[in-house]
């Protein structure tokens, strides 16, 4: 690595030969790129030092090395126990009941609510591990966005009739898993290229005859649309890439699916990642590579609009109150026990103080990766427990459902995660939870992962896959140095929640042939919810409010964060208008006035400690 690459990611403090040497050593030792090292640094400063503004130093790099080593060791321990992973049809086993029957009717059994007798305080908590004992003040705001826009004010109208409109069809997510067919995958990947070819041709007014095959030698410039791929088909996606290791993959229609090396020396102010759909103008003069002369940026979808009648109706629903939405992301317990005391106190605080209109809870609600460790800690304390705990659904109904049912707000949206113990299936995109099977009340709305939906006039897009961690892009010269902004812009341009191919995370399962369910079809959501293990944040990127609520419980067992979004009642004075022409049969063209959500002018976001 060069010293400039570390300065670019870590800042001026990394402009030191000793620090550069230490960073090179860490990258070599753990097989990391400079961007991977910086991602680990962000996680380390946030979880261990509790100060993300810590500057890089030799002393802190030594601590970072120990942190990475510890993380790898813990991950290897979990991987060694993969054989103990259970699905919802598997029996819970203990030393005293190895032959327990698997045939258990969960609907007719009497499930007892269980609480762990672990002392807790609603104001502060201590970590379960004595080695990481940390006192965190509960419900304290750690970061705010747009505090000048609106003031935090109490809720006066309870149980408002918030209109939830789902922009998806649940039945499409109930596909058969482990039924991958190469032809179906190839059809989907080719279809994406062909769709974007039409979009580019229409947007830039390019005649169809000007598109060509980039793999064929030619002395003429052509336009082409294809997919960025690694230089080797065997690349897992986790290997560090650079501008010299990127190829362009064509569709079977445009270039028989052949890959061609790219010369990107003329491209600036952009970045590339495996799986990205791109449009180029260039030439393949020698036949051995495609020289890119111009990178045609893909335009992204417009925002949703609303009629005068819709805005007026939504305004009447809220009255003078703010629309309050709580956003959380799992896990909701530590990896050592099913202690939900923090969740219970959070729900109590929400019911009594915040009084939200909607809560959006992202999984994992109960993490399957922690179950083997929990069972080894003698979680089942008596034979009596085994009489009504036969499968993983029973654990959810006994330990978590009674707590969740204490939520008072009229709407609670649940999104699954690949690590949830009660998943219909784990590959992404995922089907929704079954509310009745889990014993949840009727105010719970179980949505698939990812989901597009709206709360009154505010549209949401939620994807419970860690795209912020997984996407490793390769920047060119003069590229935006803010990695988070680059990634979100890629999602908007690609019109997709998870456009990476292949996925760099071997533990994250993706069903490529059904990734059409993760596309943005007609408009860009006003709010993007993308939970990640990285530092929680809320910021506007390309006029889209992007929220990472952070983990509710941190890996060390300490409390994490959640997000409170407040949106002011829609007022025609603070909404931007657009004029939409309507084509009629007569000579005169009717023009209607619609309204944009204009969320940046009337919203406030607080990131709060659990």
What pLDDT, on the 0 to 100 scale, is given for residue 238? 56
What pLDDT, on the 0 to 100 scale, is given for residue 370? 86
Angle between helices 34-47 and 17-30 (to 10 degrees): 100
User: How far, in Å, are 57, 59, 67, 174 from residue 62 at the CA level?
Assistant: 9, 5, 9, 48
What pLDDT, on the 0 to 100 scale, is given for residue 92? 43
What pLDDT, on the 0 to 100 scale, is given for residue 124? 43
**Rounded to two decimals, what is the model's pTM?**
0.80
In the chain, the percentage of residues whose pLDDT exceeds 70 is 84
130-175+316-367+393-466+525-609 CATH choice from 3.90.330.10, 2.70.70.10, 3.40.50.2020, 3.60.21.60? 3.60.21.60
Which of 117-131, 247-261, 458-472, 569-583 is predicted least confidently? 117-131
What pLDDT, on the 0 to 100 scale, is given for residue 481? 84
Report the chain's mean pLDDT, rounded to a whole number: 84
Residue 403's pLDDT band (cuts 50, 70, 90): very high
Mean local confidence (pLDDT), 400-406: 96
Mean local confidence (pLDDT), 505-533: 93
Helix (H, G, I), strand (E, B) or coil at 70: helix
Higher pLDDT, 127 or 348: 348
Token readout for 124 is 């502060």
Most confident of 142-146, 379-383, 589-593: 142-146
Nearest to 548 by CA among 457, 459, 485, 458: 485
What pLDDT, on the 0 to 100 scale, is given for residue 502? 86
Cβ atoms 428, 449 nearer than 8 A: yes
Q: 574-601: b or e for each residue (b if 16 or more CB lie within 10 Å)? A: ebeeeeeeeeeeeeeeeeeebbbbbbee
Most confident of 33-37, 51-55, 522-526: 522-526
Residue 231 has pLDDT above 90, yes or no: no
Residue 383 has pLDDT above 60, yes or no: no
Length of the chain: 610
Higher pLDDT, 569 or 249: 249
pLDDT digits (tens, 9 = 90+) for 252-264: 999 999 999 999 9
Q: 460-477: b or e for each residue (b if 16 or more CB lie within 10 Å)? A: bbbbbbbbbbbbbbbbbe
Domain 178-299+482-507: state its class. Answer: mainly beta
99-105 long-range contacts, CB within 8 A, separation 24+:
100/386, 100/390, 101/390, 102/390, 102/391, 104/390, 104/391, 104/394
Residue 491 has pLDDT above 90, yes or no: yes
pLDDT digits (tens, 9 = 90+) for 529-545: 999 999 999 999 999 99
Residue 377's pLDDT band (cuts 50, 70, 90): low
């Amino acid at each position: 690595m060069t010293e400039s690459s570390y300065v670019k990611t870590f800042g001026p403090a990394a402009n030191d030969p000793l620090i550069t040497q230490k960073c090179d050593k860490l990258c070599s030792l753990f097989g990391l790129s400079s961007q991977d090292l910086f991602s680990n640094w962000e996680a380390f400063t946030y979880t261990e030092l509790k100060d993300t503004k810590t500057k890089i130093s030799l002393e802190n790099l030594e601590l970072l090395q120990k942190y990475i080593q510890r993380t790898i060791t813990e991950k290897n321990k979990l991987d060694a126990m993969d054989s103990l992973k259970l699905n919802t049809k598997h029996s819970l086993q203990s030393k005293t009941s190895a032959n327990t029957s698997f045939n258990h009717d969960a609907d007719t059994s009497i499930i007892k609510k269980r609480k762990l007798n672990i002392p807790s305080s609603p104001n502060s908590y201590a970590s379960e591990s004595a080695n990481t004992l940390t006192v965190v003040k509960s419900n304290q705001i750690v970061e705010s966005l747009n505090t000048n826009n609106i003031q935090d004010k109490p809720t006066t109208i309870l149980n408002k009739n918030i209109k939830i409109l789902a922009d998806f069809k649940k039945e499409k997510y109930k596909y058969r898993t482990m039924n991958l067919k190469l032809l179906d995958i190839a059809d989907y990947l080719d279809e994406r290229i062909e769709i974007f070819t039409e979009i580019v041709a229409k947007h830039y007014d390019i005649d169809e005859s000007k598109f060509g095959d980039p793999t064929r030698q030619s002395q003429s410039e052509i336009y082409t649309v294809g997919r960025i791929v690694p230089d080797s088909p065997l690349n897992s996606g986790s290997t560090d890439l650079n501008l010299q290791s990127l190829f362009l993959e064509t569709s079977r229609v445009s270039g028989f699916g052949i890959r061609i090396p790219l010369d990107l020396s003329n491209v600036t102010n952009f970045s590339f990642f495996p799986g990205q759909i791109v449009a180029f103008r260039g030439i393949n003069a020698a036949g051995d590579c495609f020289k890119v002369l111009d990178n045609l940026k893909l335009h992204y979808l417009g925002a949703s609009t609303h009629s005068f009648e819709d805005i007026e109706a939504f305004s009447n629903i809220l009255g003078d109150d703010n629309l309050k939405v709580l956003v959380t992301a799992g896990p909701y317990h530590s990896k050592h026990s099913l202690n939900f005391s923090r969740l219970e106190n959070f729900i109590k605080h929400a019911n009594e103080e915040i009084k939200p209109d909607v809560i959006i809870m992202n999984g994992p609600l109960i993490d399957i990766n922690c179950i083997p460790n929990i069972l080894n800690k003698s979680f089942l304390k008596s034979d009596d427990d085994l009489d009504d705990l036969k499968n993983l659904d029973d654990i959810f109904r006994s330990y978590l459902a009674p707590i969740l049912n204490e939520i008072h707000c009229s709407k609670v949206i649940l999104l699954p995660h690949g690590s949830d113990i009660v998943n219909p299936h784990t590959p992404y995109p995922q089907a929704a939870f079954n509310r009745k099977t889990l014993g949840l009340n009727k105010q719970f709305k179980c949505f698939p992962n990812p989901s597009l939906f709206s709360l009154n006039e505010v549209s949401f897009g939620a994807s419970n896959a860690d795209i912020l961690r997984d996407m490793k892009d390769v920047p060119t010269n003069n590229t935006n140095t803010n990695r988070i902004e680059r990634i979100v812009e890629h999602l908007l341009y690609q019109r997709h929640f998870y456009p990476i191919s292949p996925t760099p995370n071997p533990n994250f399962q993706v069903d490529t042939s059904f990734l059409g369910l993760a596309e943005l079809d007609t408009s860009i959501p006003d709010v993007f919810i993308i939970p990640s293990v990285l530092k929680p944040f809320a910021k506007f990127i390309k006029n889209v409010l992007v929220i990472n609520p952070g983990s509710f419980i941190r890996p060390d067992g300490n409390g994490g964060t959640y997000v409170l979004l407040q949106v002011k009642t829609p007022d025609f004075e603070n909404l931007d208008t657009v004029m939409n022409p309507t084509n009629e049969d007569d000579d005169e063209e009717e023009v209607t006035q619609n309204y944009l959500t204009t969320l940046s002018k009337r919203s406030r976001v607080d990131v709060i400690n659990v």
